[in-house]
Amino acid sequence: MRSGFHAITSAALGLLICAVLAPNLSAQVIAERIGPGGGQGGNGGRSGGGSGGGIARFYAGERARNNALPSFALVKPVRSLGPLPDGFPVRPVFGTDEQGRQTVAIDIEPGTSLYATGEVAGPLLRNGRTVTLWNTDAYGYDEHTPSLYQSHPWVLAVRPDGSSFGVLADTTWRCVVDLSDGIRFAAEGPAYPVIVIDRDSPREVVMALSDLVGRITMPPKWAIGYHQCRYSYYPDTRVRDIASQFRDRNIPCDVIWLDIHYMNGYRVFEFDPSRFPDPRGLNDHLHARGFHTVWMIDPGIKAEPGYPVYDSGTAGDHWVKRADGSVYKGEVWPGWCVFPDFTQQSTRDWWAGLYKDFMAQGVDGVWNDMNEPAVFNVASKTMPEDNVHAGDPRTGPGPHARFHNVYGMLMVKATREGVMAANPDKRPFVLSRASYTGGHRYGAAWTGDNTASWHDLEQSIPMVLNLSLSGQVFCGPDIGGFIDDGTPEMFARWMGFGAMFPFARAHTAVQNRDKEPWMFGPEVEATCRQAIERRYQLLPYYYSLFHRASTTGEPIVAPVFFADPSDPALRSEDDAFLLGSDVLVVAQVTPNRDRVPAMPRGIWRPMLLSGPFNPDLPALYLRGGAIVPTGPIMQYADQKPLNPLTLLIALNEHGRAAGTLYEDAGDGWGYKKGQYLLTHYAAKREGDIITVSIADQDGSMPRPDRTVRVRVLMDDGPDAVGTTTDGTTLRIDLSRIPRPE
């Protein structure tokens, strides 16, 4: 039976919230050191030291702590490590505003830069900006749109000396993050705790955040390749033609996406019998050519007796209810729909079970869209806030106002569980439009319905960076813009750097021109081919970065200021970005290429990959002291073994360099049992001799019998090159290489 919570009116709920909140704010603030649950401890830090040092949790008072709602952001409950030391440098001040919301204010010293706040449009630097965290169907958004599709109540602060702290407001209710004068949160609902992480650098703060909110699981290697999508590819003959065009034109691609037009009358889990009469046969055909497919599933279920999904959901009492206890219905693509109550474990189990037959058609990945949830023909664009969710024993019941921001995340959690149950020997890939802090544990993200404009092209870089700084490291925009046609030059430029993002997918809307790489003419096609080929050459490096993100929480792409957090010239640079810590991507995001980005200090060597110089492609630089693994151009991720392996090397001022290569089967779970190979390469120069060798290795996967090519980028002449067999030491004698006079 459902809880009787629906009998609570909105007015009564407001009184209840005030009753919980008001007494807390007059009490003494409770501050404690915390660490990840399960005995993991912390990463040290500037304050407190030792296990869990530098991480604190604050409550407005004893009652606030006792009545705190369960966290959706934290991957597991944290443990208290005792009182907070007096010297902890960040002290939130609790209060209430004129709307009765709990507020949390944190002062910052002059020169402190603020970032993150999740999915936000506009510049990387967020000082002076305000965002509302309320998941919204934000078609055609811009930097003045108050709320977008995801909510991340997290702020990253970087002090003038480069040290850093982060603040997480642990609430799912509508929350305003105001950075116009320091850091200020104001959230509806009951009192909520605030978690502060203090570290020596912003990179350490982001990694420490992952200790609390979790890390991504290694995706299948094909998901790190290039993706092609539109709204929509249909019928199935069109999908086959798109696949053939990619292969015939030698443009690498791993994934083709299927939007809502594959569905039978927009009924999820059903295929249109005329457009897609044989989905299994289509997927088998694409698999044979090296493609994988991702198919869309929305939360809106057509309210139609006789439709099996509706009938089984009704029988199981799985729908969200109105405040009066009746089933809520709203209009989406199929017409009048009901919506699963993903707050219930029983509903998530039911939803997961729907994927068994769906995935049996050869489906590889799932795309959860419209899951804010979006509702048509209502001013709010979503369901009423006083709708009722039953919850489960951990969370308890509550109004939609409480669960709105996690609705999409809970949907993706259930989807991921269903995909894994259907294909237990494969790694799942799920993409979601709506999410919340911690949602990266279940699915990747994209930045929603952007526009084919130079403005949105430019802001796609800081959007990806701020999402990455908020824990969602597997993300990217719709390359080329979802709304409108754009221009050939714009598409080429966007593809140039868009192919470098963790999630690289071109997408466009139903009424637009075709936006496959070849549809803008031969020059743009050549640029797109070269851009995507670069990604595939760097795929060994990307795969290693994903492994690092999955084990340490380090972002895959990062702002340039990560290279030198104390350099004020880098704090607002958002026309360039770092891949890991070793590769700098400098894009030209203005039509006239008249923007000159700030460069980090130190050694950064120009890094050339395949093809001729192309002004539409970003410049790439290799950090001095780094070794980056690259491979041959492939048409899809597992087309052939990594042979030869090419190591690009830039020596530091001491003549040293180091880098890692992570390898495993590319899918499946063998890597969790040690079936991987993690190789640490090292290079050093002594006089005219450069030695390249394996410094260390880990994992039980045998070392492949392959050729290793080495290219050392030099500042005083041509590259120093050499070839060896992997596992043996290479010596390059510079005295034998002609040097300029």
- Active site positions, annotated: 369, 372, 449
- Which residues touch 92 (CB under 8 Å, ≥6 apart)? 29, 58, 104, 105, 106, 167, 194, 196
CB neighbourhood size of 302 (10 A): 21
Hey, which bits of 260-410 come out as E strands?
263-264, 267-271, 292-297, 301-302, 330-332, 335-338, 365-368, 388-389, 398-399
Name the phi and psi angles at 454, rounded to 5: -65, -30
Closest CA to 125 of 471, 612, 461, 409: 461
Distance CA 704, CA 676 (A): 12
Angle at 555 between CA 408 and CA 36, to 5 degrees: 75
Instruction: Output helix, strand, coil percentages for the chain, rounded to the nearest 5.
Output: 25, 25, 50
Which value, in Å, is the radius of gyration of the alpha carbons in the chain?
26
The residue written with tokens 């934000």 in the block is 138
CB 299 within 8 A of CB 413: no
- Which residues touch 494 (CB under 8 Å, ≥6 apart)? 457, 460, 479, 480, 481, 486
The residue written with tokens 């891949």 in the block is 579
Cα-Cα-Cα-Cα dihedral sign, residues 90, 96, 97, 103: positive
Q: How many helices (H) and strands (E) does the chain have?
A: 13, 43
Distance CA 367, CA 115 (A): 28
What is the DSSP track for 1-51? ---GGGGS-HHHHHHHHHHHHHHHHTSPPEEEEEE-GGGT-----SSS-ST
**DSSP assigned state of 483:** B
